[in-house]
Amino acid sequence: MVQYDFDGTTAVVTGAASGIGRQTALEFARHGASVVVADVDDNGAAETVDLIADGGGEAVAVHTDVTEMSDVERMVETAVDEFGSLDYAVNNAGVGGAQEPTGDLDEADWERIVDINLNGVWRSLSAEVDHMVGQDGGVIVNMASVLGHVGFQNASAYVAAKHGVLGLTKTAAWEYADDDIRVNAVCPGFIETNMLEEGGITSDEQLRQEIAGRHSQNRLGEPEEIAAAVVWLCSDAASFTNGEPLTVDSGYRGI
């Protein structure tokens, strides 16, 4: 098992109460980082903190709604106040949202999905780089999706937001490279998470098999597999990787 040296560093992970976010927080802690567990789900965030503590790590939970700039600013302040720095940030919070054809999607649903999945990443990144510019750099990973590369029926808002995350990532990577801040994205395929369950994909066996069959290994991914990619991007092993949309999708074949 690969081991990185993150001792004495601090990582912030949004959407860390469950799924990919929780596994990413646990992975950072396994490699020695102190972790700020940020989420609107306070109970889930507390469970993540407990899991990290059970493994001998350090973590603190902070209520964070990524649609509120004041929340993401407090998230960054918590990292610095509790642990002394902000070295790594993973902007993972997101929602699936309504599944409707583009012309039938309610405007309020469009705005909510885009506000969380795209604007929320921008708000978080903005607060993070504001601090990192004043220290010795850092690494930011934005959670995009394989649907940031391809279309998907009845998911126009989600797809548009994830395409936007990739554009934001590539632009910020150039803007902050001179400040020794690397900004990358991870584009997961379909992963075994609550989001898929809530979207009816994992509860509908026929749909589940159809989606799984679009991946070369004929299965859905696991959160741990995405967390491993995120932590690699933050490590020195990825020191020449910047502005990269790292796709972890078993060669997903779109419609």
Could you give the residue numbers annotated as active site?
158
Q: Are the C-beta atoms of residues 20 and 45 closer than 8 Å to each other?
A: no
Token readout for 181 is 């801040």
Q: Comparing C-alpha atoms, which of 200, 15, 191, 188 is closest to residue 99? A: 200
Token digits of residue 193: 């998470």
Q: Which of 194, 215, 217, 213 is nearest to 205 (CA)?
A: 213
CA atoms within 13 A on the CB side of 254: 10
Burial code of 90-104, b = ≥16 C-beta within 10 A, e = fewer?
Answer: bbbbbbbbbbeeeee
Which residue type is seen at 201? I
Cα Dmax for the chain:
52
CB within 8 Å of 227: residues ≥ 6 apart: 20, 23, 24, 26, 27
Q: Which residues contact 255 (CB under 8 A, 6 or more apart)?
A: 150, 151, 152, 153
